[in-house]
Chain A
Amino acid sequence: MKKLFLIALLCVFAIGQTMASGTTEKETKSDGQAEIVYSTFSASPNHLEELNEIVSIFNEKEKDINVSVETVGWDDYFTRLDSQIAGGIAPDVFEVNYESFVSYASKDVLTSLESVQGWSEQSDKYYPKAYSAFEYGGRQYGLPETFSTSVVFYNKELFDKAGLQYPDSTWDWDQVIGAAKKINTQDGVWGMYSPIQFWEFYKKAAQNGGSLLSSDGKTVTVDAPENVEALNFMVNLIEKHGVMPTEEDLGGVSNEQAFLDGKIGILVSGIWMFDTFKDADFEWDIIVEPGLKSKACHFFANGLVMSKNTKHPEAAAKWIEFFTSNPEMVSIRMSSNWELPAIQNLELVEDYINKGNPENRKAVYDSLNYIVVPPVVEKQSKFQDVVGRAIEEVLLGTKTASEALAEADKKAQQLIE
């Protein structure tokens, strides 16, 4: 037992030593460099190399700034970020997805970019709507880093078989449905598939001039007549026009798989499916999604923001600009198949646009002209639940669209209060 005691004493001593030698926060390096800590989730695990490359290019260029990176997995990112903010040691710059952006901006933990000395308007570098998405209360708090969207895929072979012309950006939904009806007549083939769920709903509502929240985000407008019309439009693809399969019809196969198997002529899906669909044994292409009263496209985006207590706002702003719009950064992203930057200068993303498969990759960037941001409230997941349930009830036929949405509206209103 004596030995144990001695070992124990030694360990306590060792702990005492390590206490004295731990690393403490560096705010300014000894040679006068501004330390910027950048926290991100989108780089791990596949793009750490690219991120480090971009960081070293920046550090080379800006000798008086040193950016260091903290990468965390998506699942734990916000747990840690929230603790750091509560403890007063938030990273100088951090990445947020759009939904979280709204939440952090409203809690007053960010510095607006405009308040930084020497800040100049950057809007001409980015698509205007992507730029203004990261505005809150009239101030610009962040810059768009990457985006993703959904488009309309179409199977060229099925179009040929039905003797139809390929769709283009002038088509509206009526024309699409017409084409779908013709394709539907073929054996074992469905004309089209447009998912009936929360994200599709707010997008179609926007296409119809409606929205789930008022523009200041303070009132719920879930049961607006435009929304009811939009939901009816979505459900009628199955009910009235019979051009879309139900989940039962698909028999457990995902809609993406069914498209890949050549069983669906027209599919609304995300651009992340390009990789999967490239193995299809038929030719296919994409168009920007048609609109009802006007076009509206998804905007699944990440942006970079600056924390309120950063000691080096000018340096942080420089990093944010660099990481979201610098041409070298763009080419590193393009060459490694990382997420797309929301910049206007399409020359920089030529490699992506001319990659082919699909041919019309330009439609991905064209969609940025029509984006609608997701409706975001404090209790986001409950809100999505409430609306999602209403959509399901209409699908099952237990309620009409106006009934279901009216009920959802009441519940959602309670969530906001």
Chain B
Amino acid sequence: MLRKIFGWTMTLLFAATMVIPFLWMLSTSMKSDEMLLVFPPRFFSKGMSFGSYSKLLELYPMMRMFLNSVIVAISATTGQIVVCAMAAYAFARLHFGGSKFLFLVFLATLMIPFQVIMTPLFIEIRYLNWINTYAGIIMPTMSMRIAFGVFLLRQAFSGIPNELEESAFMDGATHLTIFRSIALPLVKASLATLLVLSFMDSWNSFLWPLLVTRDTSIMTLPVGLSSLHGRYSTEWNLVMAGAVISVLPIIMVFIIAQKQFIEGLSHSGIKG
């Protein structure tokens, strides 16, 4: 009994620690200007309202930027999953000459910091005439995470027992069939992980969209919100309102993906 109480307390405390910053963010977004930096800090203060949200919508085309973020995140994530799944399957299950070496090269690229390639990348995108276009944002954002995705999924694919493959081959299946019908369902959990990580990454991606976008009609949400920081002062209630808007889709994606997570964990897929 005592153990149960202890367990619950610890869990609740932990949950509280995780949730409080978000609640603070929500609370700040609703405060009026004067009550922002009141000390001692309080969750509820006088004059709370959704005024910051409407001001934000006036100042910036928030809905447009939200849409842009959605487009970029969905496209980049989809692209990543498709490419990574196929590449990881190839690395894990197709044994071709030099596959190990290639894989190591892939891993090596993970160590290159973005700042190193950002200027040459910019020049390249400029020559492709992709500056200030969706393609210019999506393609590099998608490419940035492919090495990581391949690495993650390769591990997952390696875990599939060879017997499954062999028996499928005997039934006349091609690699493509095995990929689609056997391998992919078995790695659902890892796919879900990659989906969430990839979505979060593309949604929050800041530096690259900052460089490549010029009009507010193409800007993604993080870039738009960054200009809320003035040189000498910042209106925190506006920034927090933007942050709340920004965080909602990620929470949604996470909740949806969680289901897949658990499903994947509980079905092992090997029967008899």
B74 contacts A86, C-beta separation under 8 Å: no
Residues of B contacting A25 in the complex (Cβ-Cβ under 8 angstroms): 131-132
Given the known inter-chain contacts A15-B75, A70-B214, A76-B226, please indicate yes or no for A23 contacting B132, CB distance below 8 A.
yes
Query: B235: which of A15, A45, A72 is its contact (CB, 8 Å)?
Result: A45
In the complex, B111 has a CB within 8 A of chain A: no
Tell me which residues across on chain A come within 8 A of B71, comparing CB atoms. 18
Q: Could you tell me if A15 and B211 are in contact, using CB atoms closer than 8 angstroms? A: no
B130/A22 in contact, CB under 8 A: yes
Q: How far is the CA of A286 from the CA of B22 in the complex (A)?
A: 45
In this assembly, does A14 line the interface, its C-beta being within 8 Å of a C-beta of chain B? yes
Q: Shortest distance in angstroms between B124's beta carbon and chain A's nearest beta carbon?
A: 9
- Kindly provide the distance from the CB of A56 to the nearest chain B CB, expressed in whole angstroms: 16
A72 touches B227 (CB 8 A): yes
Is A178 an interface position by the 8 A CB rule?
A: no
A19 in contact with B134 (CB, 8 Å): yes
Given contacts A1-B181, A12-B82, A46-B230, is CB(A83)–CB(B211) below 8 Å? yes
- A76: chain B residues within 8 A (beta carbon): 210, 226-227
Known: A70-B214, A80-B211, A87-B122. Contact between A15 and B82, CB under 8 A?
no
**Known: A11-B74, A41-B231. Is A18-B184 also a contact (CB below 8 A)?**
no
Q: Mark B193-235, 1 if CB is under 8 A from A, else 0.
A: 0000000000000010011001101100000001111111001
Q: Which of A1-36 contact B (CB under 8 A)?
A: 1-2, 4-5, 7-8, 11-12, 14-15, 18-19, 22-25
With a cutoff of 8 Å between Cβ atoms, the chain B residues found around residue A41 in the complex are 231
Interface residue? A44 (CB, 8 A): yes
Which residue of chain B has its CB nearest to the CB of A4? B184
**A22 and B74 in contact (CB under 8 A), knowing A75-B229, A79-B211?**
no
Q: Does B138 contact A (CB under 8 A)?
A: yes
In this assembly, does B136 line the interface, its C-beta being within 8 Å of a C-beta of chain A? yes
User: In the complex, what distance in Å separates the CA atom of A37 from the CA atom of B131?
Assistant: 15
Q: Which residues of A contact B74 (CB under 8 A)?
A: 11
B residues in contact with A14, CB < 8 Å? 75
A45–B211 CB distance below 8 A: no
Which residues from chain A contact B129 at a C-beta distance below 8 Å?
Answer: 24
The answer to whether A83 and B227 have CB atoms under 8 Å apart is no
Q: Does B146 contact A (CB under 8 A)?
A: no
B228 and A44: CB pair below 8 A? yes
B181 nearest CB across to chain A (Å): 6
Per-residue interface assignment for chain A, residues 111 to 154, with 1 indicating a CB less than 8 Å from any chain B CB and 0 otherwise: 00000000000000000000000000000000000000000000
B228 engages A73 (CB within 8 Å): yes
Q: Are B133 and A83 in contact (CB under 8 A)?
A: no
**0/1 string, B114-153, CB within 8 A of A gives 1:** 0000110011011001111111101100000000000000
Partner of B126, one of A19, A37, A89: A89
Per a CB cutoff under 8 Å, which of A12, A22, A45, A71 touches B136?
A22
B185 on the A face (CB < 8 A)? yes
Return the contact of A79 from the options B81, B138, B210, B238 (Cβ within 8 A). Answer: B210
Which 8 pairs of residues, A with B, have the shortest CB-CB distance? A22-B133, A74-B231, A19-B135, A18-B134, A11-B78, A44-B227, A73-B227, A73-B229
19 contacts between A and B (CB under 8 A): A8-B82, A12-B78, A12-B79, A14-B75, A22-B136, A23-B218, A25-B132, A41-B231, A45-B227, A45-B238, A46-B235, A73-B226, A73-B228, A73-B231, A74-B231, A75-B229, A86-B119, A87-B131, A89-B126
